[in-house]
Chain A
């Protein structure tokens, strides 16, 4: 494989940060392989997103502002991406390790006869081959995988690379619609329940609540306030999700999401293995718990033992005061 093709996930007219992280890393990998970087941006507002991508080190930006991409689930995206990939020849395809990225990537890989790797936190080129590095078994072991196929798909965990603007050739190419396709998974309606919220996978700061928070209310009040003060998102342990206090999309852990934020604040979470595997690769871990002997104390960078209902609001207040004194 020679070229690197980045599938750009975007929302609200802007590329998602993970797309920019991938675009930045793609340059390094393509340079090592002696190839080019392509980006593929599809669906509504694609032309605007393509313009914004010019700030990143991409050679060719392929765009298709085709209404079918949003009117039908996944298939149009796979078809467009496949067309770009086949035209580019043997290549590494980067998709984000998100709901959409996994979906597009897995279908594309099956179609191309390509290997696919998951939850990749680093990429490197050695002897002309692309190595994909991923923590497995909840960070128990770090695996390095490579491809035996001429095409390879790597699903990249958000927050793994730094997004660094540095303009490339940035040639924008308008894609023509793949011929002879009939789409059937029709979107009848789109329902937005939490507008503007960034998912826990993508946040660089996550404030999670567990059994210790005692009910649904604190997720909407004290934890949400703290997350807002830090510019982060609210996560949860399995216990809290199973109790119905917060939707499953917020769950961090083995039966939820595996994340690597810069800062993880675990509130009222004991840190059982099921939770640990979802967050142990976080940059810094702070825990707040009334019990000083909880398992999370064994791997948190800081465990504050006290009443979370007192500490969390005070912490929010202190952070707001700090922010105010800097402006």
Chain B
């Protein structure tokens, strides 16, 4: 089975991000670029599926990122993906959810697939809206929030999380599935994997290769940023050392009363 995994490169989750006031852009210097942590679960799910199905199953990474992100893509290859397709084009800059999904869908169709796996959301934009839009543009069933999946012939059996539990769902392939953090524990690349990744193919793609029928990037964006503002400051509040549980409870109850929360 041909499995594709979409991957986004994001600023390190643990970094304290800041906005440069003059340019109103995220300061990226000194902040490491990493694989979107949510995508590691999708990749792990793909690798496990490949291991289970065996035969000629393959796992291909698909990403839209500047060429400078190549080394981060290598990490995904080091985890065990077979190869990668990387859409790098200045024309992609400024893409919103719509443009990103449209261009990625074109890259995925060109690559060919039976199953596309995505993370639930990215840790930088946190929209959670890409998988749905991508499924729509691919014209395939799109099942999101999957915490368990299995393939039985041409049918995918999955558990989809809900607020109160889960749904058991069957979906015919080809399909797109987004997975949650509950699905697995992503592996660390082995030394052998890291060495092997250096020889794996990262196929470059540009927008010219995709012959899109509409602009993407800033020009094709359906949304427009009109203003950036500083959030209201959240200042340091009271710090109260308490001797025991009863005093702690009293301090909190008084505080909640003062704030009219109880």
Contact yes or no, B161 A99, CB < 8 A: yes
**A270–B166 CA distance with the chains assembled, in angstroms:** 31
Contact yes or no, B225 A303, CB < 8 A: no
Contact yes or no, B129 A106, CB < 8 A: yes
A57 interfacial by beta-carbon distance below 8 Å: no
B123 CB to nearest chain A CB (Å)? 5
Residue of B nearest to A256 (CB): B181
Interface string of B104-134 (1 = CB under 8 A from A): 0000000000000000000111111111111
B163 interfacial by beta-carbon distance below 8 Å: yes
Contact yes or no, A191 B168, CB < 8 A: yes
A273 interfacial by beta-carbon distance below 8 Å: yes
Q: Which residues of the other chain, B, contact A280 by a CB distance below 8 angstroms?
A: 234
Contact yes or no, A145 B225, CB < 8 A: yes
Query: How many residues in A have their beta carbons less than 8 Å from beta carbons of B?
Result: 99
B28 interfacial by beta-carbon distance below 8 Å: no
A102 is contacted by which of B38, B125, B129, B242 (Cβ under 8 Å)? Answer: B129
Q: How many A-B residue pairs have CB under 8 A?
A: 284
Residue with the greatest number of chain B CB neighbours at <10 A, chosen from A138, A155, A317: A138
B195 interfacial by beta-carbon distance below 8 Å: no
**A106–B17 CA distance with the chains assembled, in angstroms:** 27
Q: Which residues of the other chain, B, contact A149 by a CB distance below 8 angstroms?
A: 222-223
Residue of A nearest to B252 (CB): A315
A321 CB to nearest chain B CB (Å)? 9
Interface string of B17-53 (1 = CB under 8 A from A): 1110000001000000000011000000000000000
**A56–B51 CA distance with the chains assembled, in angstroms:** 54
A142 CB to nearest chain B CB (Å)? 4
Contact yes or no, A114 B222, CB < 8 A: yes
Q: Which residues of the other chain, A, contact B168 by a CB distance below 8 angstroms?
A: 187-191
Contact yes or no, B133 A116, CB < 8 A: yes
Q: Which residues in window 149-194 of B have CB below 8 A to A?
A: 159-172, 180-182
With contacts A286-B252, A303-B240, A310-B244 taken as known, whether A118 is within 8 angstroms of B129 at the C-beta atoms is yes
Contact yes or no, A146 B224, CB < 8 A: yes
A137 interfacial by beta-carbon distance below 8 Å: yes
**A195–B164 CA distance with the chains assembled, in angstroms:** 6
B145 is contacted by which of A99, A115, A194, A317 (Cβ under 8 Å)? Answer: A99
What is the interface of chain B, defined by CB distance below 8 A to chain A?
13-19, 26, 37-38, 96-98, 101-102, 123-137, 141-145, 159-172, 180-182, 221-231, 234-253, 255-256, 259, 261-262
User: Can you name 24 A-B pairs with beta carbons within 8 Å?
Assistant: A105-B129, A114-B222, A118-B97, A142-B230, A144-B226, A145-B225, A145-B226, A147-B222, A147-B224, A148-B221, A184-B171, A187-B168, A190-B165, A197-B164, A241-B181, A273-B14, A273-B16, A303-B238, A305-B239, A306-B242, A306-B245, A311-B245, A311-B248, A319-B253
- 5 more A-B contacts (CB under 8 A) besides A193-B166, A280-B234? A107-B142, A143-B225, A144-B229, A147-B222, A306-B248
